[in-house]
Amino acid sequence: MRLGVLVPAGNPTIEPELYRMAPRGLTIHFARLDTLAGEPGGADGMERRTLGYLDSMPAATRSLAAVKPDAVVLAHTAVSYLTTFAAEPALLDRLRALAGPHAFTAAGAIHAALRHLGARRLALATPYPETISTAARTYWQAAGFEVIAHRRLDTPNIYDETEETAYKLARAADAPESDTILISGTGLPTAGVVDRLEKDLGKPVVTSQAATLWHALQLLRVTEPVNGFGRLLTSASNPR
């Protein structure tokens, strides 16, 4: 099975993380979304840059078509936040018109993952500027979740951060009343800390990358087990 991934041009994180987590039954193929609005990953201009990636979707999906992917993901969570939860169906329709019926968004994958886990009360960790972080909180509230706590990472560039930063951010975001921790952002490295966080905090941890892979495996009915990256992916071997 082949997964096509539309990724912001400057994102150095999701590619190695998906390769690291993917089971043997899945190959992953990337196409980069271009934008001219500022420094990739930089806080300055991120809102304009994020929305600008949508203009690159036609060209990027055409380049992916050559490898005939079985599913395609728009791997940029923040673009869904800025277009809003109410507009997610229209964004998905636009993506599927370009990439086929098994196309999905990273935010849509997270939504499905949270429902699968029975999440209701979220501790939200975001690595975005204030405007996008606020949009993220609003998105998940509109999706029907209670955001119990929210911690924002104030960073000049998400792509310069480390797994240890993600670990500390999630710990800071956690609250006793939350039943699930959501670490948003495909540019923040998280693959190596999800298991550790779940053991330390005693609750599920969902990330943009893990949810993206999990949802792809569900869609494609890939049954290779995926262990070591959190409880969400341990269920990937039992697709619905």
Task: Give the pLDDT confidence of 41-78 residue by residue, as tens digits.
Answer: 555 556 667 777 788 899 999 999 999 999 999 999 99
Residues 174 and 123 sit within 8 Å (Cβ to Cβ): yes
Number of residues assigned to the chain: 240
Identify the H or E element spanning 78.
helix 77-83
Give 3-state DSSP helix, strand, coil % of the chain, rounded to 5.
Answer: 45, 20, 35
Summarised one tens digit per residue, pLDDT across range 208-233 is 999 999 999 999 998 878 999 999 99
Summarised one tens digit per residue, pLDDT across range 78-94 is 999 999 999 999 999 99
pTM for the predicted model, two decimal places = 0.93
Which amino acid, 137? Answer: R
Q: Dig out the tokens for 115 from the structure.
A: 């429902």
